[in-house]
Structures are given as C-alpha cells and as structure tokens.
Structure 1
Amino acid sequence: MCAPDAPAPPDPKETSAASTATNVGTAIANANLGNVNQVTPDGSLNYSQTGTYKWNDPYTGKSYDIPTYTATQTLSGTGQAIKDQTDQAKLNLGELAAGQSSFLKDWLAKPVDLSNDATEGRLMDLGMKRLQPALDARRQANEADLINRGIRPGSDNYAQAQNIQDQGENDAYNSLLLSGRGQAVQEALAQNSAPINNLTALLSGSQVSQPNFVNANMPTIPTTDTAGLINTNYNQQLQKWQQDASSSSDLMGGLFGLGANLIKFSDRRLKKNIRAIGTFANGLTKNVFEYLWGGGEQVGVMAGE
C-alpha cells in the first residue's frame, strides 16, 4: 500500500491574480455605490461612466479595465441666470481693474514722502482749509466786541487784545503740528493705498452660491481575502494528506508486526504432539499440534518448510 501524493501548493501568481481581480471588482462596485445622483432646489449633480482605461498588474502581467466617471453639476434656471449675470459683472470689474493697473505703475513709482517738511506741509494745508476760517471768524468777533466796548484800533488795549488773539492762533497751529502728525502720516499712507485697495476690490468681485449636495451614507463592500482562502484550502488539503499518510504508515507497520508474530508462533520449538494431516493448496504441509502453554489442538505450518 502506497501513501497518497502531497497536494500541490497554490501558484503565487495565480493566487495574486485571483486576489487582485477580487479587489478590483470590489473597488469598482464601491465606486458605483458612491456615485449617487443628487437633485436639490439649487441644481443637480449627476455621475456617468465616460470611458475606461487599462491597468496592468506589474506582478502577474494581467490587465484590467478600470471605468472612469464624470460628475456633471447643473444649476437651476434661477441659479444659472444669477451665475451668468455674476460672470458678466466680474468681466466688467476685471476690465476696470486692468485699466487701474496701468495707472498704478506710475502711482507706485512715486514713494510716499513722510519727512517732517512734507508732513508739516500737509498739516499746514489742512490748517489753512479747516482751522484758519475758524480763527478768522473768531478774530472778527473779537474785533467787533472790542469796538462795541469802546476799545478802538490804535489804542493800547486794542493792541494788547490783538496780541492775545495772535498768540492764540499761533498756539492753535503749534497744537495742530504737534498732535496731528500721526494722523497726517496715516492719511498719507491711506491716500497712497487707496488705488491699490480699489483694484483689489475690483478683482475680488462676488461669488455665486453653489448648490448644497447631501453626503450620501452608502455602504461599502468588504474586500474578499481570496489569497487567504486559497492558502487555507491548501493547508486543509495538506493536513488531510498528512493524516492519510500517517494512517497508511500505521497500517503497514501493523501488517509487518502481524507477519512477524505469525512467523514467531510457527516455530516448531514452541509446539508439541505434531503430526502431519495433509497439505495446503500452496504445497505446505498441514500439521496438527499443540502449543507448549496449552490452548488445545491447532492447525498450521511449521517454520522452515
């Protein structure tokens, strides 16, 4: 009796190919589950397969057709009209920005002068426009008040009042120069930045509202461990083969042991009252005998015949 042949181990490339094919199929199925068409009041989103591409497995050399998809977003009628108008507005703003940008080339080429003379000059200009009219009005009111009180021009009291008026105006300008420097610098910088800010505002434009699509809660198909199943099946076959081989070995050992025992108990020295009574079909002498330890008459052969 011969032991059974061991099962052939699985081919690595075939196992890899089976596993890859399962994974690719699962990935495609999951992609199809996730491509959910959506419809909202603001528009719709539709998925469609628009082609395939070949992917070659670098290990097995097998190729697979992988589908490609396109997501198409469509606005509602109102949303599309708003978008068209917004696009036109952006175009107009862009054209304005293009014109302003050429102006900025010359504007930015002139740095802002923040020196003391330039700053005080701006403050004095501001004082002449805003402060001086108020000072002139106050001077006229004071002069009228002096005359009404009988203090005439040329008198000492009148001259003293004029000196006080002059000192007040001088103090007002000094205060403007001392306290207004920071404001004058900020205004100069703001004036210099105004064209840039205007251009930035023109370029920013306005944004169209996008449709709000829901996130579909879709299940995914788990990947099948094909390689694991193949190897598990092989291990089961190998284990069965090992068990069968072990049983065959035990059986052969038992048969050999039984034969040895038969030969041992056929020894003439273990028997008595031996007498021949005929022959077996194979030509061996058929004898009747008793074992030395008893047990009655037995029929058999003698070792050595």
Structure 2
Amino acid sequence: MSTVTAMVHTPSAPDPTKTAQAQAEYNQNTAVTQQLLNMTNQVTPYGTLTYNQTGNSTFTGADGKTYTVPQFTQTTTLNPEQQSTLNQTQSAANNIAQTANSLSSSGLSSLGQAVDTSGAPALQTSLGSGYSSSPGNSYSTSLGSGYTTSLGSNYNTSFGGDVSQAYDDAKNAVMNQLTPTLDRNSEATRAQEIASGIRPGSAAYTANEQSIGDNYTRAANQATETAQSVQNQLFNQQQQQAAYTDSALLNQAQFGNQSALDQFNAQNNASLTGQQFTNSALLNNANFNNSANSQWLQNYYTQRDQPLNELSALLSGSQVSNATTGASSTPQTSVGGVDYTGLVNNEYQDQLQNSNSMLSGISGIVGGLGSAALTKYSDRRLKTGVQLLKRFANGLGLYSYRYKSAPDQAETGFMADEVERVCSAAVSRDRHGFAMVDYDRVLREAF
C-alpha cells in the first residue's frame, strides 16, 4: 500500500495566514471601490455637493503590515440666494435666543414664589343633610288591605252532586218501555214451540230460550247506555255552572288587586320622584361649586406658567435647520466581494477528493490482486458482467467483472483496450491474441 500511496500526489493544505491576508486585501479593495463608486458629485439649482480626497489614513493590520486607505471630504456649497437666506435665518435665531435669555433672567421671577391657592372657591365634598338615600316615609313596601290573595267561600274547588238517582230513573224508564214487548215476544215464541211439538230439554228448545235471554240482555245494555248518557249530561251542566261562577269571582278579585297595585305604584313613584328631585338639586349645586374651584385653579396656573411657555416657545424657535442643496440621495452601488478564502478551500477540497478517489481506486486494485501475479488477462472478450466503478483523470476506468472461465468469482481491474491508449507498454498478448496488462507498470507510469 505504501507503493500505491507514493504513486498518487496528495495536495498540501493552503496556508491559513496567507489565505487570510489575501482575503483581507480583496476585502479592502472591494470597500474602496464601492466607496469611490458611491461618491457622486451633484449640481442642483440650490447649490452643489462634491467629494474630494483630502488625505490618507494608515493602520497596522493583524499581520503587522501597514495599510493605507484614502480619506474624503464632502463639501456643500449654496448658491447666493440660498446663502443669503441661511444668513438671515441664523440672524433671526440669534435675536430669538437673546430675547429668551432676557426673559429667563427677568420674566420668570414669579416662578420662584410659592403656589398660593387661598383665593380659590371652596371645594364641596359633602351634599349635606338634605341629600337622602331613602325614598321617604310615604314610600310603601306593602300593597295594603285592598289587595287580596283569596277568592272567598263562593269559589268552587269541587262541583257536581249525586246523580245516581237520575241514572236509576233513566235506566228504569228504558226497561219499563222495552219489557212489555220482550214479554209478549217470549210468550209467542214459547206458544209456537208447543204448537210445533218442541219440548223442554230439546236442542231447539234450548236455542230458543238462549235467543229470548239475549233479547233481554240487549235491552238491559241499551237501558244502561241511556242512563250513563243522562248522567254525563247532568255532570257537564254542573261543571259549566261552577266554572262560570268561579270565573266571575276571579275576574272581580283581579280587578280589585290591579286597582290596589296601581295605587301602590303611583304613591311610591311620587315619593321617589320627589326625593330624586331634591337630591339632584343638591348634587347640581355641589358640582357648580366644584367646577368654579377647578376653573379658578386652571386660570391661576395658566397665568403662572405663561412666562415659562413663552420662554419654551422662543427656545424651540431658535433652532437653525441644516442648509440644503436640494441634492437627491446618492445612488448606492453595491460591489460584490471576492470570496478568496472560499475559492482556495474549494480548490483544495477538489484536489484532495480527486487524490483520495484515485488512491482508493488504485488501492482497491492492488488489494484485489493480493499475492497473485501483477500481469492479468484484461481482454474484454474474456470477461462478462462488466460494470464501470470509477473513471480516473487519465481516462482509465476501474471495472467490476467476472471471467467467463470463472463466472462465480468477482474481479476488479482495468480494460486492456483503455490501458493501451494510456500506457501501451503495459499491454502484451499471448499466442492466441488475448491482451494482458502489467498492473505494476500501469500504476507506475500512468498515475
């Protein structure tokens, strides 16, 4: 493996100090270039704005070297009209400042005196005994004796008397009406049985007797239904009469209660309104007094602060604004810096990757040969399952394959036709014309 390593050149890592120094120089050049591009002289109707180099500045870098960078001066020149306006403005500001100075020494003497608010109207904090939180004695919480919660003894909570006699009378009346007819029919049926020779105990006799009994049963049922109908009619009449009486009593009680309630509300509203009127008058009077106190204090402090406000106005108006040439913003040009450090590192990584790739491929070949002879058959015609694994910078390809004579054994190596184009001296042929490659010579001379 040491022979293989010696055949492949491994690139040296870049010097970090030299790389940083070169990057700093590129950065400085970029900054100076950008500054020069952005210093654009401007000429406007109001004046001019110019840039001039007025010297240089030097500094010592981290590497101990001395670096020089240019110094520039920006000059603003106004036209005669603008210059005259500026002179007048500054003169006016000077006059204002002198007036403010005079006021500060004489007009503010009153501020040194203590605040005196003894002349202010008295501040009222109480509404007095006339103010009440109660609606008064005439306000009532009871509806009085005129309001009732009872409907009286005439109000019916039950209704209806004993209607059983009416039930019996109705049932008896129906039966008394139907029984003579049933009796005559029964006698006629029995007479016909005797005439026909039907005797008691026979089936025909029993059937006739059953029919006679059914007639009496139907008559009794009809009498019962009629009696129940009469009974229900009497009950409904009693219910309607009781409901009418109760409704009249209820309406009368509600009318009386509503009158009592209206009188109660009217009395309380009058009492409450009277007390609210009194309270409102007291409150308005207190608010008027307190408003007078607040107005007096406001006027007092306004007069006291007036000299200070005048001085503040004079001082704020004495500021001189910067002169303007009407120049617009200078277009800013952005100059992209050179990433010298990145370029150096990328180049080194590429070289290192190529070196490692070549070293890995060649090591794989030699490792695959092991202790076998370094001259191997590499003719494509003798191989099968050929696949490219890696392509080196010199054009040679590293392949995986199997010899047709040993299809179960995987091999790694070159192809003789490619080696012949790169290092023809490493290729020979046997007596059958099949090409062989001297791997030791290829590795020494082609890499």
In structure 1, runs of 5+ residues without a counterpart are 121-175, 262-294, 297-305
Pair 178,9 (structure 1): closer, same or farther in 2 beyond 3 Å: closer
Give 1:29's match in structure 2, choosing from 10, 30, 33. 33
Instruction: State the Cα distance separating 1:41 from its structure 2 match.
Output: 2.1
Q: TM-score, normalised by structure 2?
A: 0.40
Matching residue's letter, 2:64: G
CA apart distance, 1:12 = 0.5
Tell me the CA shift for residue 19 of structure 1. 1.1
1:252 is displaced (CA, Å) by 11
Q: 1:113 aligns with which of 90, 112, 116?
A: 116
| Cα pair distance change 1:114/1:242, threshold 3 Å | same
Partners of 2:65 and 2:21 lie apart in 1 by 7
Match of 2:350 in 1: 236
SS in 2 for 1:66: strand
Alignment partner, residue 189 of structure 1: 301
Shift of 1:228: 0.8
Q: Shift of residue 245 of structure 1?
A: 4.3
Inter-partner Cα distance in structure 2 for 1:220 and 1:179 = 66
| Contact kept? 1:42, 1:211, Cα under 8 Å | yes
Displacement of 1:200:
1.6
The size of the alignment, in residue pairs, is: 206
1:178 CA drift (Å) = 7.9
Residue 119 of structure 1 aligns to a residue whose secondary structure is coil
Q: Distance in 1 between matches of 2:92 and 2:57?
A: 41
Identity of aligned residues (%): 32
Deviation per residue, 1:240-299 (Å, 9 max, x gap) = 4335545765589879844688xxxxxxxxxxxxxxxxxxxxxxxxxxxxxxxxx99xxx
2:22 matched to which residue of 1? 18
TM-score under structure 1 length normalisation: 0.57
> Of 105, 118, 126, which aligns to 1:102?
105
Does structure 1 retain, via aligned residues, the 8 Å contact 2:39–2:330?
no
Contact 1:39–1:45, Cα closer than 8 Å, also in 2: yes
**Contact 2:60–2:66 at 8 Å: present in 1 too?**
yes
**Separation in 1, partners of 2:304, 2:46:** 43
- Within the candidate set 57, 68, 83, 1:65 is matched to 68
Q: 2:38·2:332 contact (CA, 8 Å) conserved in 1?
A: yes
Q: CA deviation at 1:226?
A: 0.3
Q: In the alignment, what sits opposite 2:88? A: 85
Q: State the alpha-carbon separation in 2 of the partners of residues 179 and 97 from structure 1.
A: 36
Q: Could you tell me how far apart the structure 1 residues matched to 2:360 and 2:289 are?
A: 112
Classify the secondary structure of the residue corresponding to 2:311: helix
Alignment of 1:79-228 (within 5 A): 79-104=82-107, 106-115=109-118, 118-119=119-120, 180-205=292-317, 207-208=320-321, 210-228=324-342
1:112 and 1:188 in contact (8 A); partners too: no
Contact 1:112 1:189 in 2 (8 A): no
Instruction: Tell me which structure has the larger Cα radius of gyration.
Output: 2
CA RMSD of aligned residues (A): 3.5
Report if the CA contact (8 A) 2:45-2:326 is conserved.
Answer: no
Q: 1:187 to 1:211 in 2, by over 3 A?
A: farther
1:220-299 mapped onto 2 (5 Å cutoff): 220-243=334-357, 245=359, 250=365, 257-258=372-373
